[in-house]
Amino acid sequence: MGVDWREFQELIQDLEDVPETAGKYIRKAVQVTATKVKDHWRDQAKGLPHAPAFPFSITYDLKGFQGFGSTVLSAEIGPDKGRRQGALGNLIEFGSVNNAPQGLGQAALNANEADFATGIEKAIADAHREKNL
């Protein structure tokens, strides 16, 4: 799956003087968006007659490191294959010979792209405010 992140990449380029305290705010923005993407994906997946438990397999993991003046974050959102019907994720998302692709995860990412950019902008503003206190 992919998302058109051009605006987000432009935002990153504009953030050359980001305060060192921005990491905790950015982490919150990533976590909020990951939760929204998960919830959106789950909502769209409800009612699949052949996969009634599938929505409950959709989770997210937030991983990060903060130190040495930098923060590295990632959020992995999607079906957990260890949960009931989680292994159907690829078939539901991308389809198969017998099933059309649903694209529910991609739609959830797309639906939350602008909110994520707004959250990052707010995180940076909050970090600047903290720096100036």
Sketch the domain layout of the chain as residue ranges.
6-131
Please tell me the distance from the alpha carbon of residue 23 to that of residue 132, in angstroms, as a whole number. Answer: 16
Please tell me the distance from the alpha carbon of residue 132 to that of residue 27, in angstroms, as a whole number. Answer: 20
Burial of 67 per CB tally in 10 Å (0-12, 13-18, 19+): exposed
Q: What is the pLDDT of residues 71-103, one digit of tens each?
A: 678 899 999 999 999 999 999 999 999 999 999
Q: Are 75 and 60 in contact (CB under 8 A)?
A: yes
- Whether the pLDDT of residue 24 is over 70: the answer is yes
Q: Higher confidence at residue 19 or residue 33?
A: 33
Q: What is the value of pTM for the model shown?
A: 0.81
